[in-house]
Structure 1
Amino acid sequence: MPSTQASTPGPSASPASCPGHWTPPVSDPEFGANSGSENTCFPGRFPGRKTAARVAEPAPRPHICNRNAGFSGKGAVITQEALSAFFGWLTVLHIGLFTLSAILLMLMHDWAAGLHARLFGLAPADVSLTFYRWLGTYKIMIFATALGPWLALQLI
């Protein structure tokens, strides 16, 4: 059973390896056998701060200064295939929404035009023109933000 006794953290890591973060000492049983490496970093734990023993706390997440975690410092890399899949599904989603909107506006044009004319105080002819402009603008936005990037990625 884990100890519930509070412990004081040991010496800090060298400033070059991880400035501002505390590295557990090798002799501290609370952190296991792999502790004490100067490449291990636990953000938020500073020398002199008392911490309760861990009972149900998850293992500490690697910090940017944890060189053993395999972090290259370059950030996440998105592959061309992942981007192509993203823009492909985005295009499918937008074209489906566009088609549904166009079909519903064709089938329920009189009801939708009357409703929006009453809501916004417009003539039904103006509402029909607004619907047409909205569908045209949405189609251009689909080409510019979803289909265009997908096609460009397919040509690369």
Structure 2
Amino acid sequence: MAVHKLNFDDAFDEVLYTLIAMHCSLEDYRLAYLLNKNLGISLKRKSEDLDYSSGLASYSIFEWEDSKQLITWNLVSNICKTQIIQKADYQSLFNTTQTKTFYLLPEYKAVNYFLKIDSEFSFSKEKFILNHILSMPQIVTAYSINTNQLQSKENLIFS
């Protein structure tokens, strides 16, 4: 009997994207406004947040689809703090609340926001974008992340 082997290596190409980490203490809507103003983009809040960890964690996400260059820009928060209410047990009279912190990319716990650009730019274009982000006084620091070394890259699939 003949053996047929299917090779799917070429069918599922890895999606190319640039990921920029940003450290700042701004609210998400203020950061989106500043990025729009300084980079000439039009990020808008999506109607639904990213929902992970069985509904315990949701992350705000802003998106802009550049139809001229066929590039999708996403600004997503990395930190989600939720309050978990623990019911009173027989030893206590009151319910207690506990704040639990979840991270979109746990290996980058110090990062506040990620800017994901669904297109691989040349080094000079990426450096241009980073310089514009770093020129904003509200941004403490920003840097590119090597996406090949990410352990939780499945969290960056937004569709």
Q: TM-score normalised to the size of structure 2?
A: 0.22
Higher strand share: 2
Q: Structure with the greater relative contact order (CA < 8 A, sep ≥ 6): 1 or 2?
A: 2
Q: Which has the larger radius of gyration?
A: 1
